[in-house]
Amino acid sequence: MKRIKHWINGELVNGKSDRTGPVFNPALGEQISEVLLASDYEVDDAVKAAKKAFPEWSSLPAIRRARIMFRFNELLMEHADELAELITSEHGKTIEDSLGDIMRGREVVEFSCGIPHLMRGEFTEDVGTGVDAYSIRQPVGVCAGITPFNFPAMIPLWMFPLSIACGNTFILKPSERDPSCPMKLVELAKEAGVPDGVVNLVNGDKEAVDAILVHPDIDAVSFVGSTPIASYIYSTAAQFGKRVQALGGAKNHMVVMPDADIDQAADALISAGYGSAGQRCMAVSVAVAVGDKTADSLVETLVPKIQELKIGPGSSSDIEMGPVVTKQAYDRITSLIEKGVSEGASLVVDGRSFNLQGYEEGFFMGGSLFDNVTEGMEIYKQEIFGPVLSVVRSQDYESAIDLVNRNEYGNGTAIFTKDGDAARDFSERVQIGMVGVNVPIPVPVAYHSFGGWKRSLFGDTHMHGMEGVRFYTRLKAITSRWPKSGVREGHSLNMPTME
C-alpha cells in the first residue's frame, strides 16, 4: 500500500514515528494509502531545517523570491490535471471542482509574484532637521500552517507561497485525510527553485499540531479548520508567544428578498449548498426566505433541481456532486438529518436513501432540503458540512438580518434582491466578514483578503491580500540622522522632540 511520508529539507523522509493513519477513496469507500503521523521528533527536524534555511532565504532580494513564484505558478498550471486527480481520489469532489480548488490557490501564488511591490516600505524625509524616518517590512521567521481537508490545494496555497515570498521559511501540516496533493505542491515548489529547508511538510494529527504550537522556534501559526480547533490553536499558540491567525467554521445564510429573481436565487442555492457536497466553509447552509410567498416559491423551485443533481464518483465526467469525505462524516450528517426530523423541521427532500450501483461502499448521499427550520433546532445551530440546505422563514427583512447577526459564526453571507437600498443596508449592517450581493459564495480574490468575523476567525488578520502580507511580516521603523561634520548639539535628558 502507498505510504505518504514527510518532506523535510527538500526530501521525502520516513521519520521515526511508526504511527500511521488511513487515507480513503471516498467514492469507493476503500483505503488507498496510509499516511505517516508525525511526533515531536519529525516536527523538530522540520523546524531545524526551516531555521537553518532562514538567514539566506530572508536576505535574498525580494525580486529573486518573486521569480521563483513565477516559475512555481507555471508548474502548478502544467501539473493541474495531475493535482486535480490526487484531490478527487482522496477528497471525492469532482475533477472540475478540484481544478477550481487549484485555480483559486494559484491566484495567491500570482499575488505573491508581486512581493517586491507588496513589501515596499514608507519614507519621510526631514521629520526633524537632518532627520529622516522610514518603515520597512521584514519576515517574521519560521511560520507553520495547519490546513483542513476540504481544500487540499487552495488553503495550503493561501499560506506557504505568500509566507516564503515575504522571506519566511515554512512548515505545512496538511489534513491527514487528503495529504497527497499538498505533498505534490511542496515537491513542485522545490522544482521551481525553492531551496531545501524553506518549505517543509509534516503529516500528522493532533500530536504533530501540538508539537507545532509549543515549539519555541516557530514564530507564527496560520490555521484553517473547525471552530473548536481554531479556538484551541489560537489560545495555545498565543500562550506560547506566537503570532496566530486561526480561521474556523461557518453557518452561512443567504437572504432571499420578495423581489428576488427566484430562479436565479434557486440556482445560486444549488451551487452554493450542494457544490463539493456542502463541504465548503463558504457553502450556503441556510436560505432565509423573506415572506411565506417567497419561501413557497423558493422551495417549489429548489425541489426538482435537488432531485436531478448528478451524483457519482468525482472522476467521472458529467457529475455535479461527489461523495462526502469519510464514513464518519456520512454518519454525522445522516444523524443530524434524523435530528432535524425529530425536532419538527419538514424534510422536503431526503438524500439519505441515495444509492449508486457499483459504488455501494462509497460515502455517497443525495442532496437534502429542510423547510420550516427554526433557530433553536440542532440542524440550524450546527455546521452540518454536508449536502443539506435549511430554509428558515422570516416575516420581514429586519428579522432576517437580525437572525444572521445573532448567529455565532460570521464567515460569509449573501442577499438576493433587485433593491439597491436593501442590498446597501444589508452590506453595511450585517455582522459578517464576507458579503455577497446576488453572489452566493463571495470568496474574495487573492488581492483582497479572506476571513470571517465572530467565531469564524480567531486573531486579527485575514488570509492573503495585504492582510496576509501584514501577517507574514513585521514592521520596523527607523529614524536616522547624519549630523553635519563638526556640529555638536550636546546632550539633553528631555524626551526627544523634533523642535
Enclosing H/E stretch for 46: helix 40-58
Cβ neighbours of residue 62 closer than 8 Å, sequence gap 6 or more: 115, 116, 119, 165, 167
Binding residue for ligand NAD (CB under 6 A) from 9, 226, 334, 405?
Answer: 226
Nearer to ligand NAD, 181 or 257 (CB): 181
Residue count at the site for ligand NAD (CB under 6 A)? 26
Contact string (CB under 6 A) for ligand NAD, positions 279-318, x = contact: --x-------------------------------------
Contact 144, 168 (CB under 8 A): no
Cβ neighbours of residue 296 closer than 8 Å, sequence gap 6 or more: none
Q: Where are the beta strands (DSSP E) in 161-225?
A: 169-173, 199-201, 220-224
Cβ neighbours of residue 89 closer than 8 Å, sequence gap 6 or more: 25, 32, 180, 315
CB burial of residue 145 (10 Å; 0-12, 13-18, 19+): buried
Nearer to ligand NAD, 65 or 184 (CB): 184
Q: Which residue is nearest to ligand NAD (CB)?
A: 225
CB of 156 to ligand NAD, least distance (A): 10
Binding residue for ligand NAD (CB under 6 A) from 16, 64, 117, 206?
Answer: 206
Ranges of H-type helices in 240-371: 262-274, 292-307, 327-342
Nearer to ligand NAD, 7 or 149 (CB): 149
Binding residue for ligand NAD (CB under 6 A) from 7, 149, 160, 426?
Answer: 149
Biggest CA pair distance of the chain: 91
Contact 148, 200 (CB under 8 A): no
Site for ligand NAD in 155-174 (CB under 6 A): 173
Q: Judged by CB under 6 A, does residue 386 bind ligand NAD? A: no
Nearest Cα residue to 159 out of 118, 212, 203, 220? 220
Is 113 an active-site residue? Answer: no
Q: How far apart are CA 177 and CA 327, in angstroms?
A: 12
Nearer to ligand NAD, 233 or 256 (CB): 233
CB burial of residue 499 (10 Å; 0-12, 13-18, 19+): exposed
CB of 408 to ligand NAD, least distance (A): 13
Stretch that binds ligand NAD, among 31-39, 147-155, 347-355, 393-401 (CB under 6 A): 147-155
Strand partners, 133: 124, 479
Q: Judged by CB under 6 A, does residue 442 bind ligand NAD? A: no
Nearer to ligand NAD, 257 or 404 (CB): 404
Position of cell 512555481? 72
Contact 185, 156 (CB under 8 A): yes
CB of 325 to ligand NAD, least distance (A): 8
Q: How far apart are CA 233 and CA 85, in angstroms?
A: 31
CB of 461 to ligand NAD, least distance (A): 13
Nearer to ligand NAD, 158 or 426 (CB): 158
Q: Indicate which residue of 143, 166, 181, 281 is catalytic.
A: 281
Binding residue for ligand NAD (CB under 6 A) from 249, 273, 322, 323?
Answer: 249
Binding residue for ligand NAD (CB under 6 A) from 10, 148, 410, 436?
Answer: 148
CB of 365 to ligand NAD, least distance (A): 17
Q: Judged by CB under 6 A, does residue 176 bind ligand NAD? A: yes
Nearer to ligand NAD, 173 or 215 (CB): 173
CB of 210 to ligand NAD, least distance (A): 6
Sheet containing strand 252-256, strands side by side = 346-349, 368-371, 388-394, 284-290, 252-256, 412-416, 434-437
Position of cell 417549489? 300
The three cell numbers locating residue 75: 508548474
Binding residue for ligand NAD (CB under 6 A) from 72, 385, 426, 458?
Answer: 385
The DSSP output letter for 350 is: -
Nearest Cα residue to 30 out of 363, 385, 387? 363
Stretch that binds ligand NAD, among 3-11, 88-96, 160-168, 243-251 (CB under 6 A): 243-251
Nearer to ligand NAD, 75 or 185 (CB): 185
Nearer to ligand NAD, 164 or 229 (CB): 229
Q: Judged by CB under 6 A, does residue 147 bind ligand NAD? A: yes
Binding residue for ligand NAD (CB under 6 A) from 452, 459, 465, 468?
Answer: 452
3-state secondary structure of 281: coil
Strand partners, 22: 34
The neighbour count for residue 83, using CB atoms within 10 Å, is 24
Q: How far apart are CA 467 and CA 117, in angstroms?
A: 15
Binding residue for ligand NAD (CB under 6 A) from 229, 302, 422, 469?
Answer: 229
Stretch that binds ligand NAD, among 1-9, 70-78, 95-103, 247-255 (CB under 6 A): 247-255
Q: Judged by CB under 6 A, does residue 388 bind ligand NAD? A: no
Q: Judged by CB under 6 A, does residue 42 bind ligand NAD? A: no
CB of 428 to ligand NAD, least distance (A): 23
CA atoms within 13 Å, Cβ hemisphere of 49:
25
Positions in the binding site for ligand NAD (CB under 6 A): 146-151, 173, 175-176, 205-206, 209, 224-226, 229, 247-250, 281, 383, 385, 411, 452, 456
Q: Looking at the annotation, which residues are catalytic?
A: 281
